Structure 1
Amino acid sequence: MQELGFTVLLPSLLAIVLAVWTRKVFAALIAGIWLGCYLLGGNPLTAIAQSIDRVVKVLSSAGDARVVLFTLCVGGLIALLEASGAVRAFVAWLESKRWGQSRKQAQAVAWLSGVLIFIESNITVLVSATTAKPLFDRFKISRAKLAYIIDSTSAPICILIPFNAWGAFNLGLLSGAGVEDPLTVFFQAILLNLYAIFAVLLVAAVIAFDLNWGPMKSSEALAKANSSNTQAAQEDIPSAKAALNESAKPLAMILPILTLVLVMPLGLWITGDGDLRQGSGSTSVLWAVLSASAVAASFMWRKQQSIAEPYFAGAGKMVPVALVLMLALALGAVSRELQAGDYLAQLLHGAMPKMLLLPIIFLLASVVAFAIGSSWGTFSLLIPLAVPLAGSMELPLAALVAAVLSGGVFGDHASPISDTTVISSMAAEVDHIEHVRTQLPYALLAAAAATIGFMLIGVVS
């Protein structure tokens, strides 16, 4: 499809523009899929039928189907934790340990949850949001700030861990590209993954020094002036303390989360026949969330609480997220068939100063990830490009891989059609476009620092 030239980028650009302009993500994604099908050889009418078929075909992939099912199961797990009183008890326990006693500590709870629950980005977002929302309401902190914190400690943290679904996926890409020791290269790339590192550290600085600028400053001012937050806090926090003193215990929250942490690498080990690097990430995260749900259900069963009703109600609340995921995956498939990423990658061909290659790779990965709304899709497009470039440009392979990973995470982090961006908005219960607007200045600052860092690495390499 290279003869189409710049037009191969139009489906993704249309989806992004419509998402920002209309604030209707579903419609934007559908429009992008339709335009992509039209460019692939249909006419305006047949492109409609082809678009429907593209969305349905997402479920024909076992991996994609597991991701969609996993999304629904996460909703069920969160509902069980809420219905059992585990979340309220955990928040009250944090308070009894003198956590959540100030605005900074409330935000630190969200940050620490994101850092410690590194198994899968969507799990990180949902658990962190569920834990922190009562504290944020108590101290009249905006939900936009919560969305920023949980979004910035989801993918940026997950990409820094080798033994989770993200690590398994990228280790597989490195192996497929012919890298002899992918685990060593990935470990080295972690140390040079500048955007992910800067993004996580920037959140800590924002919390420590109360750094609010741009649209975030307005959201924070509005939250402080909104008296409904105080009422919500007064209703929620006493019930949390009661939960600690009555039936629910913090272990009802802690043990399911520990199960998530332990079952994920176990699943990678089993599905990889003893090799974590060869394991199935989608299978492992599904096993992990189902196992955690079983543990959470056991606490409710002991108290003779209803399990099925809240579980399926929670799964039902995640149907919009699952639909967004299906549409995003379908749009990504269309973009790949149009070879949109390849078209962008070809812009790199030609002579360039060595010091500019790493920042250009970083920026290219950022553009691709922003356009398709998928860091994993970006990794699969550009890691095969980075491996041969390392040899031809005489640059460390780990540095080029790190530039791809950093750009993929930044572009995904900033994209309004990214699944983690959408889920962060929904988990924090904030308007999606408000989350995108308030988060973007912080993401751009971390990206600027990463760009300079990659340029310096190119100079000294």
Structure 2
Amino acid sequence: MVSGVEAGALSIVPALLAIGLAWRTRDAQIGLFVGVVAAGVVYGALNPAAVGVPDDLIRAGPHVAEVSPQADDASSWSVGLGGVLLGSVFGLKVVPEIIATAPLFGPWYVENVLLAIFAIGGMIGLMIRSGAIRGVLEALADRVDDSADAEKAAFLAGIAVHIDDYFNCLVVGSMMRPLTDRFNVSRAKLAYYVDSAGSPAARLAFYSTWGAAMVGFIGGGIEQAASQGNLPSGMSGFVGAEGNAVTGAIWPLFFNTLFTGFYSWIALAIAALVAWQVFPNIFEMGREESRARAGNGVVGEDDDPMISEELDRYEVYEGATPHWRNFAVPILTMIVVGLGAMFWRASPVIYVDGATGSTLLRVAEWQLVAPPAGPWSFNIGGVSLGIASVAAFAVAFLMYRLQGNIPSNKDATDAAMVGFKGILLAAVILMFASSIQNAVTVLGVASFITATFGNIPAFVVPVVVFLTTAFVSFSDGSSWSTYGIMFPIAIPLAFATGANLPLVLGAVFSGGIFGDHSSPISDTTVLASSTSGSDHMVHVRSQIPYAVITAAITAALFLLFGFVLPEGFRVIPY
């Protein structure tokens, strides 16, 4: 495994390249990949011996850097310019290792994140083919009489399909577009509801793909803090003997962020107020809605609507009987199985005393340990999203086949494959997000940031972290890649300054959602435009005012609570 180095200011170069190129190319994957490559170059330049540059070549040219303070061995030689240049080239050798050793490829992540992403994707395909999605639409249509009802239905559909942001965008736009078109609701307004109930709602669903991934990102920051010696003694159980985060122990910490993820709650609240005609249609959204209500088209004459051709081509089986229950049963299966695994007493992770609220014991996942005696004691394990999502997929497959809503096993597997392909981008982005997290950690970016900003007042840290994360996420268009960059920075900074940890974590989550909700290069924003049939930039321009208002309220709350809440405050004990 690549050993870490203290790169100082150079540690931020990969992140800056990732952000800049993502903005320039409008492609987050390109920026992230180049950021990982840049990390290898910087690593090799600073440590040429570690990447295989011969000793005599390390010393070639004018001396530009000291390798080690020791003076009695070859490692003490100062590095020449030739060594730096060769090291930067040889540093490309560590790029595959940085990617391969990213947290995503550990057993826990493969089981609980990658497997879950594809299981959910396959379930989407089955739901479309079997008419389960259409059944939800028909159930909603029976209760819609005018455009105001259609807007409420679009918002509520987004809330209902909250299990994953990609799931939401892929399903809700396509499902609701015929209904909103019928009642002259602009495509830009539909895309706003799809986008506003995508990432914000999925981030709050701890049993979704987001829950498992976010615990992993927090774990990366905890590991970074432990490596710097900043981890409080009371949290020593969060890191195992080998320096790896105990994923199950992080869940209660993550649950605290459900209360401090202000951006998600405010975005959902404003979208609800818009749907119920309380909050006005402002700026470009007002123009879009005025034209549509006047009967002049749900899209403008000069607009270029984005419609997902694959989803439009893929149709419900003609012999299917659509019903909303066929959608509800697999989703409820996922929730029940996920929660059941979480509180299964045979796999304790954290014991909490209900009388005192204190954490009594932490143990490794799946280790069989009898709970300690005491009133109201209970244990919290990790949500096993892999088990839950596969169970839901299996239930959907069997139920639709037994009902005859999918005619054959081949038809069912074809439907699942359509869903797998639709969700593939999520897996790719997560791979690069996890890799950029590993890359900036190797270069010691957290040490640089905490050394630079460690003396700022603790009450300012949450709002500063939120604004910084919002800028990064808007620039790279991906909340997950932003989390990979920011958590190894924000968590050690919180410990170093004495800021309230759940509040700082909520600030990172909130800043990431802002970019997902507003950036023109955000994958979910593009999907919202595509499946809603909206012109993409019209969607972006009409949505940004609402996102900015949400961000302003969020920033004010982080500033207020940063001043009010003490360092040790938490809603759920951890």
| TM-score relative to the length of structure 1 | 0.75
Quick check: 2:285–2:543 contact (8 Å CA) kept in 1? yes
Corresponding residue of 1:155: 199
- For 2:139 and 2:536, the matched residues in 1 are separated by 31
The offset of 1:286, in angstroms, is 3.4
Residue aligned with 2:453, SS: coil
Aligned counterpart, 2:129: 83
Paired position in structure 2 for 1:144: 188
User: Could you tell me how far apart the structure 2 residues matched to 1:271 and 1:206 are?
Assistant: 44
Q: For each residue in 1:183-219, what CA deviation from the matched residue of structure 2 results, as whole angstroms up to 9, or x when unmatched?
A: 6665554333321211111111222226333444455
What residue is the counterpart of 1:326 in the other structure? 428
Matched, 1:362 2:406: no
- CA 1:67–1:137: 2 relative to 1, 3 Å: farther
1:460 correspondence with 2:564: yes
Q: Distance in 1 between matches of 2:161 and 2:37?
A: 37
Cα distance change, pair 168–249 in 1 and its aligned pair in 2 (3 A)? closer
Q: Which has a greater percent of helix?
A: 1
Correspondences of 1:280-429 after superposition (within 5 Å)? 282-284=385-387, 286-298=389-401, 300=403, 302=404, 305-309=407-411, 311-313=413-415, 315-316=417-418, 319=421, 321-323=423-425, 325-327=427-429, 329-330=431-432, 332-334=434-436, 336-339=438-441, 342=446, 345-346=449-450, 349-371=453-475, 373-375=478-480, 376-377=483-484, 380-382=487-489, 384-385=491-492, 387-389=494-496, 392-393=497-498, 396-416=500-520, 418-429=522-533
Tell me if 1:7 matches 2:13.
yes
What is aligned with 1:235?
none
Q: Aligned pair 1:94/2:172, yes or no?
A: no
Give ranges in structure 1 of 5+ residues lacking alignment: 233-239
Say which SS state the counterpart of residue 159 (structure 1) adopts: helix
* Secondary structure of the structure 1 residue equivalent to 2:281: coil
Q: Name the residue aligned to 2:281.
A: 212
2:22–2:29 contact (8 Å) kept in structure 1: no
From the superposition, tell whether residues 148 and 459 of structure 1 become closer, same or farther in structure 2 (CA, over 3 Å): same
Q: Alignment length, in residue pairs?
A: 440
Residue type of the alignment partner of 1:326: V
Task: Could you tell me which runs of 5 or more consecutive residues in structure 2 were left unpaired when the two chains were aligned.
Answer: 1-6, 46-85, 224-230, 238-248, 301-306, 308-314, 350-378, 566-574
Structure 1 residue 294 displacement after superposition: 2.2
Structure-2 separation of matches of 1:150 and 1:191:
23
Q: How high is the TM-score relative to the length of structure 2?
A: 0.62
CA contact (8 A) 1:164 1:264 kept: no
How high is the sequence identity, in percent, across the aligned residues? Answer: 25
Q: 1:272 to 1:200 in 2, by over 3 A?
A: farther
| Aligned pairs for 1:166-205 within 5 A | 166-167=210-211, 173=218, 179=235, 188-205=256-273
Q: Tell me which residue corresponds to 1:440.
A: 544
Contact 2:463 2:559 (8 Å CA) reproduced: yes
RMSD between aligned residues: 4.4
* Separation in structure 2 between the aligned mates of residue 142 and residue 54 of structure 1, nearest angstrom: 45
**1:67, 1:282 within 8 Å by CA — same for their partners in 2?**
yes
> Aligned equivalents of 2:160 and 2:261: distance in 1?
18
Distance change (3 Å), C-alpha of 1:14 and 1:426: same
Cα gap change, 1:52 to 1:402, in 2 (>3 Å): closer
In structure 2, the residue matched to 1:122 is 166
CA deviation profile, 1:251-281 (whole Å, cap 9, x unmatched):
2233233223323323545699255854255
Structure 1 residues 30, 272: CA separation in 2 closer, same or farther (over 3 Å shift)? farther
The farther-off stretch of 193-202 and 102-111 is 102-111
- The verdict on how the C-alpha distance between 1:161 and 1:316 changes in structure 2, with shifts beyond 3 A counting, is closer
Aligned equivalents of 1:398 and 1:93: distance in 2? 40
